[in-house]
A = this chain, B = another copy of it.
Amino acid sequence: MEDNTRPQEEISSHIQGGEKQFMPQLSINSVIFGFTGERLVVLATQPPMAEIWVIPGEFVYQTESIDEAAHRSLRQQLGIDEIFLRQFRTFGEADRSFAGQMVDYFEKAGVDKSKYGWLTKRFVTIGYYACADFRKIEPQPSSLFEDIRWIDIDEIDLLAMDHANIVREARAVLTRDLLDLPVIASLLPDTFTIPELQKLHEAILGRAIDRGNFRQKVLRTNILEKVGERNTANTRRPPGLYRFNRNRYRELLEEEVKIGF
């Protein structure tokens, strides 16, 4: 993937030149999953002056692929590079549009309708989902959004438009993809304990897993390598510290070995 970074533009210029540089009526939206250690969360942003929460989105430059647009979005808006990012579905209901929320916003901002009109049309959006280390991302407002924060997976109904539905679909795909362990690797810090890994699985699957059996199955795949003896946490018995063996990862993917928890 080449670097298609463009200067971080002011929101108004981003929008006003839109119809010339972007693919018309097309956007991408990314569901970015994180894991607090207990709960599955997704990243939500609040556009300037608009009192709504949405998942991060972008438009597609005429000169870039949709995958590049998705990566650029994360890079420019969140400073995230090198991340697991996967297209999972495209949403194209006939009445899908920003119009309701956007008109108010632009009139407040004093933008001329001839400039933002292209934005109020019906939009088809390509959904991506990503997994990110909860602690490494430091959400900070930029010119593209006023506020940004993690919201619990059970609170997504506060999202505007059809974004709650997009998140639900993404979560269903994530659950299916759970077998491909590389998916969740980026949800965890570089090193972690097996109980932590189990909690992540339980958060995604939404059900409890037997402790002993989980441990056995994971270790049997040889996908983990012990890196430290103990944790500085204040638990009783200190759990072993592990990290993913990236080579074994790819092997498992190619063998299409299903772990099956």
Contact = CB atoms under 8 A, between A and B. Distances in A.
A152 interface: no
Please indicate which of the listed interface residues A68, A94, A126 has the most CB atoms of chain B within 10 Å of its own CB: A94
A12 to B, nearest CB: 24
Interface string A23-54: 11110000000000000000000000000000
Interface string A99-131: 000000000000000000000001010100000
A66 B95 CA distance: 11
Contacts of A21: none
Given A25-B24, A124-B23, A65 B87 contact: no
B66 A124 contact: yes
Contacts of A94: 62-65, 68
A156 to B, nearest CB: 22
Given A24-B24, A24-B25, A26-B25, A93 B65 contact: yes
A60 interface: yes
A119 to B, nearest CB: 15
What 5 pairs between A and B have smallest CB-CB spacing? A66-B92, A90-B90, A65-B94, A24-B24, A65-B93
9 contacts: A23-B25, A62-B122, A64-B94, A66-B90, A66-B92, A66-B124, A68-B94, A87-B90, A90-B90
